[in-house]
């Protein structure tokens, strides 16, 4: 393996990768010429794992994920190269983390409560993860989940940072919990969306099907758990420490998983945040007055330039691109 590629792996292990280097590391999985070297390097990393790591679990997991990546690559050659590859990025991140140490490895000796895997969606992409119980999770841009894969526990738990859509496999005997930094969501089997970005003012849970219960956490103490019905949304405002439950059109809040964004009376400031996450760009609004402009619309296959031109033709604004930054001004 070339020195530069080895350097990327070493920097990943020490947590020193920049965003651009992280993307470059993941892009190695696209290179058929590097397949043998990359796989051999990851096997070498396996050999260096501590003795307590369980090879009966780790090695088959590695082979399973690698096989998934190869199958997906073959299928993608028959489809458009511009389609978002949900599983691919999740698998690439998972396999690197699994073998290089950014994920807690399964151990014979450690308590099951400490045995977790992690999966992420890099900025500007959406990832799909299938949990050990067959629950399906879509991760929005800049999001991560940590989850256990032990099958002998009485509960199923995931820890969410960012935004995720869940289709939870039904099990009344083994409830499913989504832990956010502010409250917990208890599920038995349903479809719902949770948005809990650190930088956002609101933590939002939207129920599509089934039933969920929002419960207290160490940070937020509720008098009683809050039960949501399909079509309802709970919004917790971090600043005001208030909770509002209302009826909503749920497809608006989960459309991102289908590579689509739907805006209803969204401010330009809110829109800018969503575009930054979707396209992996930086947007600066110079005039506070225009940040409050409202916009209705749908974005699906448009590029960021397409979107900016639509906004420029719809609202009294103009934009300028400087390096990696998009500056929006009043027209």
Q: For residue 65, name the pLDDT band (cuts at 50, 70, 90).
A: low
- Mean of pLDDT values over 26-44: 55
Q: Which domains does the chain have, with CATH numbers?
A: 1-34 (no CATH), 112-255 (2.60.120.1440), 260-330 (3.55.50.30)
101 has pLDDT over 60: no
> Which of 306-326 are b and which e, b meaning 16 or more Cβ less than 10 Å from the residue's Cβ?
ebbeebeeebebebeeeeeeb
Identify which has the larger pLDDT, 289 or 247. 247
* Average pLDDT of every residue of the chain: 77
Tens digits of residue pLDDT in 157-186: 999 999 999 999 888 888 899 999 999 999
42 has pLDDT over 70: no
- Strand 156-167 vs strand 176-179: parallel, antiparallel, or unpaired? parallel
Task: For residues 144 and 123, give the distance between their C-alpha atoms in angstroms, rounded to a whole number.
Answer: 11
Q: For residue 106, name the pLDDT band (cuts at 50, 70, 90).
A: very low
Whether this model's pTM surpasses 0.85:
no
Tens digits of residue pLDDT in 125-145: 899 988 888 899 999 999 999
Task: For residues 60 and 56, give the distance between their C-alpha atoms in angstroms, rounded to a whole number.
Answer: 7
pLDDT value of residue 185: 96
Task: For residues 231 and 245, give the distance between their C-alpha atoms in angstroms, rounded to a whole number.
Answer: 10
Task: For residues 34 and 69, give the distance between their C-alpha atoms in angstroms, rounded to a whole number.
Answer: 14
Percent of the chain predicted with pLDDT > 90:
44
Identify which has the larger pLDDT, 107 or 205. 205
């Amino acid at each position: 393996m070339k020195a530069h590629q080895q350097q990327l792996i070493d920097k990943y292990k020490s947590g020193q990768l920049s965003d651009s280097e992280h993307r470059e590391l993941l892009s190695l999985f696209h290179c058929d010429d590097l397949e043998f070297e990359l796989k051999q390097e990851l096997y070498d990393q396996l050999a260096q794992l501590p003795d307590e790591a369980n090879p009966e679990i780790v090695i088959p997991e590695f082979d399973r994920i690698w096989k998934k990546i190869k199958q997906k690559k073959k299928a993608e050659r028959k489809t458009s190269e511009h389609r978002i590859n949900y599983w691919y990025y999740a698998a690439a991140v998972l396999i690197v983390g699994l073998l290089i140490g950014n994920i807690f490895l399964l151990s014979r000796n450690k308590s099951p409560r400490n045995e977790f895997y992690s999966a992420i969606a890099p900025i500007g992409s959406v990832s799909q993860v299938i949990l050990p119980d067959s629950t399906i999770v879509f991760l929005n841009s800049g999001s991560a989940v940590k989850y256990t894969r032990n099958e002998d526990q009485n509960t199923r738990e995931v820890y969410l940072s960012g935004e995720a859509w869940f289709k939870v496999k039904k099990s009344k005997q083994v409830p499913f919990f989504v832990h956010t930094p502010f409250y917990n969501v208890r599920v038995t089997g349903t479809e719902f969306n949770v948005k809990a970005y650190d930088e956002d003012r609101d933590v939002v849970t939207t129920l599509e099907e089934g039933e969920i219960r929002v419960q207290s956490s160490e940070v937020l103490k509720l008098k009683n758990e809050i039960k949501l019905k399909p079509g309802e949304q709970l919004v917790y405002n971090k600043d005001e420490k208030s909770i509002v439950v209302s009826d909503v059109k749920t497809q608006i809040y989960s459309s991102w998983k289908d590579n689509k964004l739907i805006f209803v009376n969204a401010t330009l400031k809110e829109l800018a945040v969503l575009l930054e996450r979707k396209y992996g760009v930086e947007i600066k609004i110079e005039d506070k007055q225009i940040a409050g402009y409202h916009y209705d619309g749908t974005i699906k296959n448009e590029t960021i330039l397409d979107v900016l031109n639509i906004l420029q033709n719809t609202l009294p604004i103009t934009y300028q691109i400087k390096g990696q930054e998009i500056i929006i001004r009043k027209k």
